[in-house]
């Protein structure tokens, strides 16, 4: 997971003046979000209805992406799965951003012992691998989306809090803060009305990048059978379910959700990095 | 060394080639399997009587298990993983042969002087793994553990008609029955009839079966159990019978079906029973070894574990059974290597029955074909529309996961809400032995193998208070018929009564029959000799496995 907002030389090579990769990624991410929102109207079949007699059928007019090993329409599951697959990372990003920003702002603005306590606390959480933490929490609370989302939010918040703290520290040293203080504004007022809005774009840009990572972590958990319950259409779960199709020698129902995960993660990362570059004033 | 220009040219040429390759790979991935009728699976497999006999000894072979045994205490051996191991370590008074017939085991002679008495004469010179000799006292002690209510033995049912077990000689045991019991002598070939060393079991105390030696008499002894990974059996050199051909057998716990298949393909394990159904084709065509099918005496069923909820109404059970796509299940879950059935007992178990008895047992059973409209009507009649049924599933194999999926689909087609609850592979065995594990579960997919070649072995499970009567059915008529069957020693008469019992079980939809499934075994080119039939659950099969060449 990214620690700071940096440009990656590998992706810079494919950037051009008009940034087609950014545009393509933005469009792709938009399409995925739309699919998730309109899933019930778009999916041609009930994603959970199994026609076992038609298991592993190849793509056809009836089944655009074929049928999985349980006889379920892969396209319908992909569309329905977009909901769970995006909702989970969204939860992680919202929780971790709110928590991380609150901790980061408090630590950076207040400084002193509070900074030490909060920063060391965050670092302690960082020492524990996020995925392991999620596996532990899911093992205790059972399957479902909430437990892994909470676990990953806890694992992700230190990254946001460290970024926020460093931004707040930089902002605090700026002359306008001293000017407000001289005018008699309270610390809370300056922080909430001026500092937070100033750092928000950078934090949000980072959150967009985090979205991609959360998506891949949650898909990984689903693949391990630790995420959403069986039958729930979810991209990670689809890859898990696709294992038997791979064993049978017809891996399409596993390849398609894999592609969806990879492309969506790349799309969110490219968009997030671009926004981060923009707010940081970096030129390309 | 290529110039920059030539490298660019290469990249330009490589791009379409890569794209073409990717498209080809995708096309290959797209093409589904060849279509074949689910009801014509005979084309896919052929039952073998056995595998070629071993040609020599071997130092070691390794075997895959789909789950780690919860315990190796024989009184709790009630599932595939435990019995696959235990059959080589602990022996019973009688033996189930690979041909699924009864033969002498630790008892060289079984006599039935009157209908209520069985006298077993033990083999002389048999030693336990701890060096102690086998005596009648060990038999009395071992059977006493099965009937001790504090130990809650899984095989306690087998002793329900036993009045007393006494040592009538140093090597003679007399079993007095409360009433004639035709099943008892047959069950003496299963884990119910296992004899272990009294000294060994008492010394191990609560650790027996979980840690340390099992102190039985089998051709192998348990020497090492790395919890969570594997266990090892070593040849018992003082074995009374033919010595095992392999010095060591290692059982590896591979819960993931794909990992199990890959282990077989890569040689990490040399073989396995219960081969994952989605791997049949890969293993058949791999050239690494041979896949054999044998008589499994097994049926895949929906085990109704609770009749407190929606499944309490027989019409709901009938409707759900009616809505099941059995043909699709056989095709998708068993890869066509099975047959659709409307009977919870396997047809092979009725081999000794005459045509009239077979007709009585099968002809009037509800059809296996799917009938959604009729099922919907039944749900309406029962007022069960929208009710929830919770089904347990586990990623141990396609037979379990796809049957759960098929139930969910059947439910949604007829107006029932079927929720799936996923259980870890190692915990799935607990569904059979622990009522707490079945809390909140209405049904789960169960492949039931007969432990004796007699249909009543399954049908008696629905008698009031029976160990596997998870749903607590109670029907005095059914109970009376089971009693009558149990006390009938004549096989023809018994089977005729069992046909009636089968009808009653079908009327009540105590379980939902789905398919008959053959036993499978994969052996790589290194080894041979394992049986193909379900006998491996109680027969010391590993002792026959040796070098293939």
Please report the ipTM that was assigned to this predicted complex: 0.72
Position A22 in a domain: no
Six-digit token pair at B328? Answer: 């699709």
Cα Rg of chain B (Å, integer) = 25
Question: Is pLDDT at B122 greater than 70 in this prediction?
Answer: yes
Position B376 in a domain: yes
Position B474 in a domain: yes
Instruction: Count the residues in chain B.
Output: 549
Distance CA A235, CA A7 (A): 29
**Percent over 70 (pLDDT), chain A:** 92
Give the residue among B460, B403, B60, B440 at the shortest CA–CA distance from B250: B60
Backbone angles phi, psi at B97, to 5 degrees: -80, 165
Nearest chain B alpha carbon to A244: B278
Cβ neighbours of A247 in B, within 8 Å: 257-258, 261, 276, 278-279, 282
Position A1 in a domain: no
Question: Is pLDDT at B7 greater than 90 in this prediction?
Answer: no
Question: Is pLDDT at B319 greater than 70 in this prediction?
Answer: yes
As for how many domains chain A has, the answer is 1
Contacts for B272 with CB less than 8 Å, ≥ 6 apart: B63, B64, B65, B260, B264, B521, B522
| pLDDT score of A18 | 62
As for how many domains chain B has, the answer is 1
β-strands B443-449, B298-304 pairing: antiparallel
Cβ neighbours of A251 in B, within 8 Å: 29
Cβ neighbours of B368 in A, within 8 Å: none
The alpha carbon of residue A241 is apart from the nearest alpha carbon of chain B, in Å, by 9
**Percent over 70 (pLDDT), chain B:** 92
Position B432 in a domain: yes
Position B117 in a domain: no
**Residue A245 confidence class, pLDDT cut points 50, 70, 90:** confident
Distance CA B173, CA A129 (A): 61
* Mean predicted confidence (pLDDT) in B270-294: 93
Which of B26, B332, B420 lies closest to A69 in CB terms?
Answer: B332
Position A14 in a domain: no
**Residue B458 confidence class, pLDDT cut points 50, 70, 90:** very high
Give the residue among B389, B386, B390 at the shortest CA–CA distance from B422: B390
Record: contact B279-A247, CB cut-off 8 A: yes
**Residue B197 confidence class, pLDDT cut points 50, 70, 90:** very high
Which of A224-238, B171-185, B365-379 bottoms out in mean pLDDT, i.e. has the lowest?
Answer: A224-238
Nearest chain A alpha carbon to B425: A225
- Strand pairing partners for B110? B120
Contacts for B428 with CB less than 8 Å, ≥ 6 apart: B67, B392, B394, B396, B400
Chain position carrying tokens 């008469």:
B493
Distance CA B64, CA B256 (A): 11
**B355 half-sphere exposure, CB direction, 13 A CA radius:** 0
Cβ B72 vs Cβ B220: under 8 Å: no
**Residue B195 confidence class, pLDDT cut points 50, 70, 90:** very high
Position B88 in a domain: no
Question: Is pLDDT at B506 greater than 80 in this prediction?
Answer: yes
Contacts for A131 with CB less than 8 Å, ≥ 6 apart: A155, A217, A220, A221
Position A77 in a domain: yes
Domain region containing B378: 298-516
The alpha carbon of residue A243 is apart from the nearest alpha carbon of chain B, in Å, by 7
Cβ neighbours of B38 in A, within 8 Å: 53
Cβ B85 vs Cβ B233: under 8 Å: yes
**Residue A136 confidence class, pLDDT cut points 50, 70, 90:** confident
CATH of the domain at B447: 3.10.105.10
Record: contact A249-B281, CB cut-off 8 A: yes
Question: Is pLDDT at B40 greater than 60 in this prediction?
Answer: no
* E-state strands within B170-210: 172-177
SS3 B294: strand
| pLDDT score of B6 | 41
Six-digit token pair at B501? Answer: 């019992």
β-strands B172-177, B162-169 pairing: antiparallel
Position B151 in a domain: no
**Residue B2 confidence class, pLDDT cut points 50, 70, 90:** very low
**Residue B24 confidence class, pLDDT cut points 50, 70, 90:** very low
Question: Is pLDDT at A227 greater than 90 in this prediction?
Answer: no
* Mean predicted confidence (pLDDT) in A53-58: 90
Question: Is pLDDT at B133 greater than 60 in this prediction?
Answer: yes
Position A250 in a domain: yes
Record: contact B331-A53, CB cut-off 8 A: yes
Six-digit token pair at B190? Answer: 């299963």
Record: contact A230-B420, CB cut-off 8 A: yes
Task: Tell me how far the alpha carbon of residue B342 is from its chain's centroid.
Answer: 19
| pLDDT score of A130 | 81
Distance CA B163, CA B118 (A): 11
**Residue A129 confidence class, pLDDT cut points 50, 70, 90:** confident
CATH of the domain at A188: 1.10.3720.10
Asked if A251 reaches chain B (Cβ–Cβ under 8 Å), the answer is yes
| pLDDT score of A282 | 59
Nearest chain A alpha carbon to B281: A248
The alpha carbon of residue A216 is apart from the nearest alpha carbon of chain B, in Å, by 22
* E-state strands within B43-201: 58-65, 94-96, 102-104, 107-114, 117-122, 162-169, 172-177
Which of A53, A231, A249 lies closest to B405 in CB terms?
Answer: A231
Give the residue among B179, B51, B156, B401 at the shortest CA–CA distance from A68: B401
| pLDDT score of A167 | 93
Position B169 in a domain: no
* Mean predicted confidence (pLDDT) in B461-472: 92
Question: Is pLDDT at B4 greater than 50 in this prediction?
Answer: no
């Amino acid at each position: 997971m990214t620690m700071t907002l940096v440009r990656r030389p590998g992706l810079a090579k494919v950037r051009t003046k008009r940034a087609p990769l950014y545009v393509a990624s933005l469009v792709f991410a938009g399409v995925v979000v739309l699919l998730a929102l309109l899933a019930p109207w778009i999916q041609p079949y009930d994603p959970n209805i199994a026609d076992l007699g038609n298991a592993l059928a190849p793509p056809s007019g009836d089944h655009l992406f074929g049928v999985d090993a349980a006889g379920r329409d892969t396209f319908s599951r992909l569309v329905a799965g977009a909901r769970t697959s995006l909702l989970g990372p969204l939860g992680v990003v919202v929780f971790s951003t709110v928590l991380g920003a609150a901790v980061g702002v408090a630590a950076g603005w207040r400084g002193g012992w509070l900074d030490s306590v909060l920063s060391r606390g965050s670092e302690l959480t960082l020492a524990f691998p996020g995925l392991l933490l999620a596996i532990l929490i899911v093992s205790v609370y059972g399957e479902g989306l909430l437990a892994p989302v909470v676990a990953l939010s806890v694992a992700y918040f230190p990254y946001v809090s460290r970024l926020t703290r460093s931004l707040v520290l930089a902002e605090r040293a700026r002359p306008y803060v001293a000017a407000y203080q001289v005018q008699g504004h309270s610390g809370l007022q300056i922080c909430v009305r001026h500092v937070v809005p100033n750092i928000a774009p950078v934090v949000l840009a980072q959150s967009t990048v985090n979205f991609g990572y959360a998506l891949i972590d949650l898909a990984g958990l689903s693949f391990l059978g630790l995420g959403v319950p069986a039958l729930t259409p979810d991209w990670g779960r689809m890859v898990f379910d696709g294992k038997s199709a791979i064993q049978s020698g017809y891996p399409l129902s596993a390849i398609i959700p894999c592609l969806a995960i990879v492309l969506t993660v790349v799309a969110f990362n490219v968009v997030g990095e671009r926004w981060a570059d923009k707010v940081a004033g970096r030129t390309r | 060394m290529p110039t920059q220009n030539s490298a660019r040219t290469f990249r330009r040429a490589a791009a379409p080639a890569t794209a073409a390759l990717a498209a080809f790979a995708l096309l290959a991935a797209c093409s589904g399997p060849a279509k074949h009728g689910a009801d014509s699976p005979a084309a896919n497999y052929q039952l073998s009587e056995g595998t070629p006999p071993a040609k020599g000894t071997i130092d070691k072979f390794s075997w895959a298990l789909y789950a780690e045994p919860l315990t190796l205490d024989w009184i709790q051996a009630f599932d595939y993983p435990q019995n696959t191991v235990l059959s080589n370590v602990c022996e019973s008074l009688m033996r189930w042969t690979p041909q699924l017939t009864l033969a002498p085991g630790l008892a060289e002679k079984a006599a039935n002087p009157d209908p209520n008495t069985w006298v077993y004469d033990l083999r002389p010179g048999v030693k336990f793994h701890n060096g102690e000799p086998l005596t009648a006292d060990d038999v009395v002690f071992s059977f006493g553990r099965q009937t001790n209510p504090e130990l809650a033995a899984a095989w306690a049912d087998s002793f329900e008609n036993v009045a007393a077990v006494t040592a009538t000689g140093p090597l003679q045991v007399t079993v007095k029955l409360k009433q004639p019991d035709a099943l008892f002598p047959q069950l003496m070939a299963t884990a119910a009839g296992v004899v272990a060393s009294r000294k060994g079991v008492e010394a191990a105390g609560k650790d027996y079966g979980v840690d340390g030696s099992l102190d039985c008499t089998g051709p192998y002894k348990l020497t090492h159990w790395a919890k969570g990974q594997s266990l090892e059996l070593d040849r018992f050199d003082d074995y009374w019978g033919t010595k095992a051909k392999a010095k060591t057998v290692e059982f590896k716990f591979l819960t993931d079906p794909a990992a199990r298949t890959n282990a077989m393909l890569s040689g990490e394990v040399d073989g396995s029973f219960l081969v994952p159904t989605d791997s049949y084709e890969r293993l058949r065509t791999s050239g690494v070894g041979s896949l054999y099918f044998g008589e499994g005496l097994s049926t895949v069923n929906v085990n109704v574990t609770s009749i407190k909820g929606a499944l309490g109404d027989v019409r709901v059970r009938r409707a759900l059974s009616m809505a099941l796509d059995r043909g699709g299940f056989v095709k998708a879950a068993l890869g066509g290597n099975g047959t659709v059935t409307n009977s919870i007992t396997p047809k092979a178990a009725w081999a000794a029955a005459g045509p009239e008895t077979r007709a009585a047992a099968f002809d009037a059973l509800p059809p296996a074909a799917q009938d959604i409209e009729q099922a919907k009507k039944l749900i309406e009649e029962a007022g069960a529309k929208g009710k929830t049924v919770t089904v347990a599933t586990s990623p141990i194999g396609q037979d379990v996961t796809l049957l759960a999926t098929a139930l969910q689909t059947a439910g949604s087609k007829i107006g029932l809400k079927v929720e799936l609850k996923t259980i870890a592979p190692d915990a799935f065995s607990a569904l059979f032995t622990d009522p707490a594990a079945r809390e909140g579960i209405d049904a789960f997919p169960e492949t039931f193998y007969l432990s004796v070649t007699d249909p009543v072995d399954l049908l008696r499970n629905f008698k009031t208070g029976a160990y596997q009567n998870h749903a607590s059915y109670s029907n005095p008529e059914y109970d009376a018929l089971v009693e009558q069957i149990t006390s009938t020693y004549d096989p023809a008469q018994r089977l005729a009564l069992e046909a009636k019992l089968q009808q009653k079980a079908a009327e009540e939809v105590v379980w939902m029959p789905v398919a008959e499934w053959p036993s499978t075994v994969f052996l790589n080119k290194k080894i041979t000799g394992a049986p193909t039939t379900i006998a491996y659950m109680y027969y010391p099969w590993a002792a026959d496995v040796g070098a293939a060449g």
